[in-house]
Structure 1
Amino acid sequence: MSSPTLANKVAQMIRNDILMGELKPNQKLVVADLKEKYNVGASPIREALVELSWIKYVKLAPQKGCWVAPLCLIELHELYESLRVVSGVLLRKAIETGDESWELAVLTSFHKLSRIKQDAYSIDWIDWEEKHHSFHSALLEGSGSKLMFEFFNDVLCQVKRYRHFAAQSLSRDAAQLCELEEHEQIMKLVLAKKPDEAIALLDKHLETSLMQITSSVQAHAA
Structure 2
Amino acid sequence: MSASDKTLADRTYRQLRGDIVNGRLAAGSKLKLEGLAQDYEVGMSPLREALARLMGDLLVVSEGQRGFWVAPLSLDELDDVSRVRALIETEALNAAIRNGDAAWERDVAAAFEALAAVEEHLPHTSEALPPEQLETWEARNRAFHAALVSAAGSPMLIKLRDLLYQQSERYRRVSLNVSRGWRNVHDEHRAIYDATMQRNALRACRMTELHLSRTAEEVRKAMAALAQDDDQVSGGKA
1:44-193 superposed matches below 5 A: 44-116=46-118, 117-119=121-123, 120-124=128-132, 125-169=134-178, 171-173=179-181, 175-176=182-183, 179-193=185-199
**Count of equivalent residues:** 219
Change (3 A) 1:126 1:19: farther
Match of 2:36 in 1: 34
Shift of 1:56: 1.2
How far the C-alpha of 1:12 sits from its partner, in A, is 1.6
Distance 1:103 1:72 in 2: 37
State the secondary structure of the residue aligned to 2:152: coil
**3-state SS of paired residue (1:148):** helix
SS in 1 for 2:30: coil
Separation in 2, partners of 1:144, 1:17: 31
> What secondary structure sits across from 1:59 in the alignment?
strand
Task: Give 1:42's aligned amino acid.
Answer: M
Displacement after TM superposition at 1:121 (Å): 2.4
Q: Quote the Cα distance in structure 1 between the aligned partners of 2:37 and 2:12.
A: 10
In 1: Cα distance, 2:99 partner to 2:18 partner: 36
Tell me which structure has the larger Cα radius of gyration.
2
* 1:67-109 C-alpha deviation (Å, 9 max, x unpaired): 1111022221111111111222222222222110110110111
Which letter does structure 2 place at the counterpart of 1:165? V
CA distance in 1, matches of 2:195, 2:77: 31
Q: Which amino acid aligns with 2:144?
A: F
Unaligned runs of 5+ in 1: none
* Cα distance change, pair 63–130 in 1 and its aligned pair in 2 (3 A): same
Q: Which residue does the alignment assign to 2:232?
A: none
CA contact (8 A) 2:23 2:170 kept: no
| One-letter code aligned to 1:131 | R
Q: 2:208 matched to which residue of 1?
A: 202
Question: What is the CA–CA distance in structure 2 between the aligned matches of 1:107 and 1:217, rounded to whole Å?
Answer: 34
2:21 and 2:169 in contact (8 A); partners too: yes
For the residue of structure 2 that corresponds to 1:215, the secondary structure is: helix
Task: Give the residue type in structure 2 aligned to 1:203.
Answer: E
Q: RMSD between aligned alpha carbons? A: 1.9
TM-score (norm 2): 0.84
Name the amino acid aligned to 1:121: L
Amino acid aligned to 2:211 = H
Distance 1:86 1:165 in 2: 23
**1:123 shift after superposition:** 4.2
Where in structure 2 are there 5+ consecutive unaligned residues? 229-238
Deviation at 1:54, TM superposition (A): 0.9
What's the offset of the Cα at 1:172?
4.4
Within 2, Cα distance between the matches of 1:46 and 1:166?
A: 31
Amino acid at match of 1:211: E
Instruction: Label 1:20 to 1:97 Cα distance change in 2 as closer, same or farther (>3 A).
Output: closer
